[in-house]
Chains A and B, each alone.
Chain A
Amino acid sequence: MSAANLRFLHDQLPAFSTAAGLTVVLAVLSMVCAMAWGLMLAAPAMSRRAWLRYPATAYIELMRNTPLLIQIYVIYFGFPLIGLNYSSFTCGVIGIAAQHGAFLAEIYRAGIQSIDRRQGEAAHALGMTRVLAMRLVILPQALARVTPMLTNQLIVLLKDTSLLASIGVLEMTLTAKMIIERTGASFQVFVLVALAYLAMTSALGLLARALELRQARRR
């Protein structure tokens, strides 16, 4: 890269840091929402009552087997028709949480079902209610067991925030595209973006690794 190129990239840094900040905010917010939504989905998906289980599993399968892009379009372009005028940012968070919640629900379920049934029965025998047993006995163990899958999914989520470029959220990917369109710069802008994403996903990956190690030590 020539000096002029570097100088050009340097001039774009303020716009970039704002965009990178937005990507991080988007990712963190979506992660929290998706994890909560996943839990709320996992419960009915494992229910013994068919009228709870079928709608939940149907939703999970639909979300898992269709592109996130189309789901975001349904929300962003469709919601105003039913009187819900959310910003593109909000629509993006809802869309990401809607899909990743479904993936996370499956991960939670795998974790919960891997815990010995008798533990729940023992907790019941000690007088715990089913909810309490789930919260204090089953869920902590289940979550520890699926931590690698969970963090992996969250890294995918982080990368998926780039899709919100398609509905006009000014995160890193769209910012890069606009700089190219405005200044006629070449694709080197995207090299910078790629490096930023790489740094973010690596940081999340390292965090996940540290979490796993801590859990392993505790056991």
Chain B
Amino acid sequence: MVPFDVFFANLPYLLRGALVTLQIGAIGVVGGTLAGFALGVAGAMAGRAVRALVAVYVFIVRGVPILVWMFMGYFGLPLLGARLGGFLAVNIVLVAYTAAFVCEIVRGAILAVPRGQIEAARSLGMTGGGILRLVILPQAVRESLPPLVNNSVMIVKQSAYVSIVGVWELSYAAREVVERTMAPFSIFIGVMFLYFLICYPIAMSAQCLEKRYARGHAQKE
């Protein structure tokens, strides 16, 4: 049996790391969702040039591992004259990376709104801003909410990768504790459960949302 007393002895230290993980995750979720929403609306509704730019951004960002972006941000952003700490640099990367994924979710949800509704709104005399705010967004937000919540799980998991470029959080703390105690099994498995405690409730709520919305759809038809 794995002796988990080592894990519990170091739990206070690990929990401080978990707090930083939550912080990074919150920055990624809030920042990434806001930026991604703007990108998604632009990617679905703006002029052709802007739509193409958004598509290129999404293609480049999603085609490269986030770890590579983190290294680039960590080594590269300071060279551009920005005097950032590593913490800020990786958070900027996490937000920019998340934004590309959120953009695709939101764009898909907007494009899923039937065109006939937009034409109907226009024939009622509504203008672009009003159509977006009153017709498209309410449906698109509802449609994209479950995948967006699911996306947050991915963000929390990816926040662990900042430890590889040298930012201190739960995973980094776990490696420190393992180096000190030489108990990789109990520490890493324990830390795995700490991550699970953060991620699983989020995944569950995404599933609940999905079920609730699926029921709403069924009633409508």
Contact = CB atoms under 8 A, between A and B. Distances in A.
A176 B71 contact: yes
Nearest to A74: B188
Given A73-B175, A77-B178, A186 B67 contact: no
Interface string A62-91: 101111111101100110010000000000
Interface residues of A, number: 37
A205 to B, nearest CB: 8
A159 B184 contact: no
A176 B189 CA distance: 30
Nearest to A172: B68
A67 B76 contact: no
Contacts of B136: none
B200 interface: yes
B8 interface: no
Interface in B158-195: 158-161, 163-164, 171, 174-175, 178, 184-185, 188-189, 191-193, 195
Contacts of A65: 153, 157, 195-196, 199-200, 203
Interface SS majority for chain A: helix
Contact of B160 (A70, A77, A180): A70
A66 B190 CA distance: 11
Interface string A174-200: 001100100000110011011001100
B157 A67 contact: yes
Given A61-B200, A67-B160, A67-B195, A190 B72 contact: yes
A205 B63 CA distance: 10
B82 interface: no
Interface string B76-109: 1001000000000000000000000000000000
B218 interface: no
Contacts of B4: none
B64 interface: yes
Given A180-B75, A187-B71, A62 B164 contact: no
B185 A78 contact: yes
B63 A202 contact: yes
Interface in A48-70: 61-62, 64-70
B67 A73 contact: no
Contacts of A73: 171, 174-175, 178, 184, 188
Nearest to B191: A70
Interface in B39-79: 60, 62-69, 71-72, 75-76, 79
Nearest to B178: A77
Interface of B: 60, 62-69, 71-72, 75-76, 79, 153, 157-161, 163-164, 171, 174-175, 178, 184-185, 188-189, 191-193, 195-196, 199-200, 203
Interface of A: 61-62, 64-71, 73-74, 77-78, 81, 159-163, 165-166, 173, 176-177, 180, 186-187, 190-191, 193-194, 197-198, 201-202, 205
Given A78-B188, A177-B71, 11 more contacts: A65-B196, A67-B157, A67-B159, A67-B195, A70-B160, A70-B171, A73-B175, A78-B184, A160-B65, A187-B72, A198-B60
Q: Which 3 A-B pairs have the closest CB atoms?
A: A77-B184, A67-B160, A187-B76
